[in-house]
Amino acid sequence: MVAGFLAVAAWETLQPRRALVVSTARRWLVHGAFVVLGRVALWLVFPVSAVGLSIAVAGARYGLLNRSVLPFSVRFVLTFLLLDLVLYGQHYLLHHVPLLWRLHRVHHSDREYDLTTGIRFHPIESLYLQGVILLVIALTAPPVSAVICFELVNVVQTFFAHANLRLPPRFERAIRFVQVTPELHRVHHSLEPSDHNTNFGAVFTFWDRLFGTLRTEPHLGDAQFEFGLKDVSAAQSVRVGNLLALPFRSEPRPLTDSAVPQAVRQAAP
């Protein structure tokens, strides 16, 4: 995790896509606080890691991915694909289940976009994400080495996908056929709500292609592109207390005709 963080941090420092406006130091302190809070919550609720659980259930009789009838290489690949598909499904639900979206709003409320955006999660959301992964591992008993490999790749990929990084266009277009790139995932973090329900993939892009959720360009184009949520200001987006309370506050309702003053409706063409 540390090596991946430092590598991507150095890369985005040398080749930034855009200049950041909100204080980087303040954002990184806030995001670091969420890492600590998330880790504490996980230690209290789930006293076992994904790798630790995969070791514990390796010899289980009910496992679907520990059957010797399948070659190890096949079980390894299936584990990697399954865990990435689970992350896609989790992310999809975070945007389509109202209760989960309340939690996920903390992640989307960042008004900037760099590698630390990838560690900005409400502690309760961290419990949801880890709980589902642990359940899948418990039911399938995948190879331990495959779980270790996926955990390592996913950590580095999370930093990479959220990086404020400018890649050579030809290179970016080539790797996006397989891998989620910063250029693709930044669309998902657009201030425009219609962009939120796109690009849910974690490592691979073919899940988005398969389920029709891939979007390569923001809805309003780059000229009007911004990050964050419309109801969370830049100042509010770097206050830990405000972010912890965000899921429990009422979301703003869309402006309906009945909510528009009569004088304004009469003056409208």
pLDDT at 135: 96
* Tens-place pLDDT, residues 181-224: 999 999 999 999 989 999 999 999 999 999 999 999 988 787 67
DSSP count for the chain of H helices, then E strands: 12, 0
142 SS3 class: coil
Cα angle, residue 152 at apex, residues 167 and 189 outer, rounded to 5°: 45
Q: Which amino acid is at 260?
A: V
Q: Which amino acid is at 4?
A: G
* Tens-place pLDDT, residues 142-181: 999 999 999 999 999 999 999 999 999 999 999 999 999 9
Distance, in Å, from the CA atom of 46 to the CA atom of 200, rounded to the nearest integer, reads 25
Q: DSSP state, 241?
A: H
User: Residue 191's closest CA among 238, 234, 160, 162?
Assistant: 234
Question: How far does CA 150 lie from the centroid of its chain?
Answer: 16
Q: Answer for the pair 66, 59: CB distance below 8 angstroms, yes or no.
A: yes
Mean of the pLDDT values across residues 60-82? 92
User: Residue 118's closest CA among 180, 169, 171, 174?
Assistant: 180
pTM reported for the whole predicted model: 0.89
Distance, in Å, from the CA atom of 255 to the CA atom of 104, rounded to the nearest integer, reads 23
Lowest-pLDDT choice from 119-123, 237-241, 250-254:
250-254
pLDDT at 257: 36
Distance, in Å, from the CA atom of 195 to the CA atom of 180, rounded to the nearest integer, reads 16
What are the distances in angstroms from CA 98 to CA 16, 40, 92, 237, 248?
A: 34, 25, 12, 21, 12
Handedness of CA 254, 92, 22, 119 (dihedral sign): positive
User: Residue 201's closest CA among 181, 220, 218?
Assistant: 181
Mean pLDDT of the chain: 90
Query: Confidence class of residue 225 from pLDDT cuts 50, 70 and 90?
Result: confident
Q: Which two tokens stand for residue 222?
A: 């780059």
Mean of the pLDDT values across residues 73-88? 97
Angle between helices 98-108 and 72-96 (to 10 degrees): 100
Residue 97 backbone dihedrals phi, psi, to 5 degrees: -105, 115
Instruction: Give the list of residues 6+ apart from residue 22 with CB closer than 8 angstroms, or none.
Output: 111, 112, 234, 237, 238
Q: Which residue has the tokens 């514990």?
A: 56
